[in-house]
Amino acid sequence: MKTLKDVAGQIKFNYAISELIKKLVMIENDEESRLELIKYLVHFDINHFTGRYSDEWIERELIQYGSKIRFKHIVSAEKNSVLHVMTGAYNIGGHTAIVNNWIDYDETRKYAVVFTNMAPKGIPQFLLETAERTGTELIFLHEKDTIRKASELLKLSDKYERIVLHINMFDVIPVIAYSNRNWKRPVYFYNHANFLFSLGMSVSDCVLCLCEYDRIKAMRYRGASKAYVLPMPMKTVAGAPLAVKEDIFGNQKTQNEIRIKYKMQPDSKIIISMGADYKYKKIIGYDFAEFVKRLMMETEDTYFFIIGANAEDVRWKKLSEETGNRAHALGVLERDEVTKWMQTADIYVASFPMIAGGRAEAIENNIPTFSLKMTNRTGAYFEDTCCENIGELIMCIKDELKNKGNYKSTISILKNGEDEKTYWKNQLQSIWDHTLEHEIHPFVSSVIISKEEYINTQLEPKEERYPYINNSILNRPILKIIQAIYKMKSRNGDG
């Protein structure tokens, strides 16, 4: 059985392999191949935890490519204009919803969104509708070559006052673009994937974080020059929220359909959770399925549904059998279906061992939310509904089921007399009020191996979550040898 010592050994082994790949980059003389090897290295660091969240050496290498682009500001920036830079937009996950809601919340500025690696036909419908309603321009890069794309990005960015990065962790294009020494306007980095290695610190004049825990970690370990807290703008992206639940999507009909399908009684209680399947993976000391099983044993006439969990996985099928069909994995759902489930639920429980972003929609629907404190980040994110252990979590849920209304979602409570939207807009304005001059930041990152890294390492899937796909690089004999060694050692637990 794997131990925490084995996990620490795996992290150190990952770090050693990363440094070995770095040496391959150093001896590569061809510029194009060198850039591709850097991309391969970045993908490795994202897929395999090394204790590093950024790397100044990698970004210095990328800056050399940015310095060769010919660029000068030729137009004055339009006042109150903001360009969001995204690698791509997706129907699932949180970061597309963040951009969508940000634009919808802030009617005082002119927004545009540029995609570095996406075609128009793939844009989610909810983002298209928001863009049309708010007059937001959606822009797509046409160049294929990485450096030419970076140059194209720079030129179209010229008319905007501020740049906000919502990029995938491996996207080198914005780093190359905004590292050009003639670029002078502030660049902000929204740290939506706080738990993964990512690029961008060298060109980011400010890092925007979901909570104070993330802000401290960005400063201490990513090497951020400045960092501020800007919570996730919470709004159901499938449609504008209304005050009366029964009026949305024929909610009473939806409830009846669910109760009939799962053979519930009219007063049965519905508990839901939502997150990618890997965020519920069983690791040392934590088992979400076992928690659900215990909760079902200790409560009557309650049902538990997990949105995002793989309905075909044997683990969830076994859970359903062991709970008498009172617990079900629902798989990945469309956003309007997620909204319907949110509007029928009595309680929301955050995923663990890794927290997911579904809490935002639960809060909007006034569902009491509970979480298990895995790290201090969970406590910062969930505030007073974060439980220290499984026993306390079950006790709080049982108390809420019995005495409905005891717990309220903290974010839904007025803050300084402000509703959530006003509070968020004021937070954003306070960030805009800080005058920033763009510069290339010679940051220093730090290695950390703490509880969060132990958790994240155990959540690594067997197949890489963000695979590198350039076969001309992957087929190099030396990389094939490194990959074979890595797979063998990792499989045997010999890290």
Q: Is the pLDDT of residue 412 over 50?
A: no
Q: What is the pLDDT of residue 411?
A: 44
d(CA 287, CA 48): 22
pTM of the predicted model as reported, rounded to 2 decimal places: 0.88
Mean pLDDT of 15-19: 96
Mean pLDDT of 137-156: 96
In the chain, domain spans: 1-226+434-495, 245-412
Angle at 99 (CA atoms; ends 427, 407), nearest 5 degrees: 60
Q: Into which CATH architecture does domain 245-412 fall? A: 3-Layer(aba) Sandwich (3.40)
3-state SS assignment for residue 110 = strand
Q: What is the pLDDT of residue 241?
A: 37
For 408-453, give the DSSP string.
Answer: --GGGS-BTTB-HHHHHHHHHHHHHTS---------------SHHH
Residue range 188-243, pLDDT digits in tens: 999 988 889 999 999 999 999 988 989 999 999 999 999 999 988 876 554 433 33
Question: Which distant-in-sequence residues (6+ apart) come within 8 Å of 414 by Cβ?
Answer: none
Q: Is residue 40 within 8 Å of residue 470, measured between CB atoms? A: yes
Q: What is the pLDDT of residue 38?
A: 98
Closest CA to 194 of 426, 427, 381: 381
Question: Which distant-in-sequence residues (6+ apart) come within 8 Å of 110 by Cβ?
Answer: 78, 80, 81, 82, 135
Q: What is the pLDDT of residue 171?
A: 97
Element (H, E) at 156: helix 146-157
Q: Is the pLDDT of residue 488 over 50?
A: yes
Strands 81-86 vs 162-166: parallel, antiparallel or unpaired? parallel
Lowest mean pLDDT across 302-306, 317-321, 409-413: 409-413
Q: What is the pLDDT of residue 237?
A: 52
Lowest mean pLDDT across 290-294, 358-362, 411-415, 432-436: 411-415
d(CA 79, CA 109): 8
Q: What Cα–Cα distance (Å) separates residue 87 from each residue in 175, 200, 224, 229, 239? A: 12, 13, 21, 23, 24
- Selected residue with higher pLDDT from 493 and 115: 115
Burial 105-118, CB ≥16 within 10 A → b, else e: bbeebbbbbbbbeb
Element (H, E) at 167: none
Q: What is the pLDDT of residue 335?
A: 76
Mean pLDDT of 58-62: 97
Q: What is the pLDDT of residue 263?
A: 85
Lowest mean pLDDT across 56-70, 147-161, 417-431, 441-455: 417-431
Taking all residues of the chain, what is their mean pLDDT, rounded to a whole number?
A: 89
Element (H, E) at 133: helix 125-134
Q: Is the pLDDT of residue 291 over 80?
A: yes
DSSP-derived secondary structure letter, 24: H
Q: What is the pLDDT of residue 494?
A: 47
Q: Is the pLDDT of residue 160 over 50?
A: yes
Tokens of 411: 């974010």
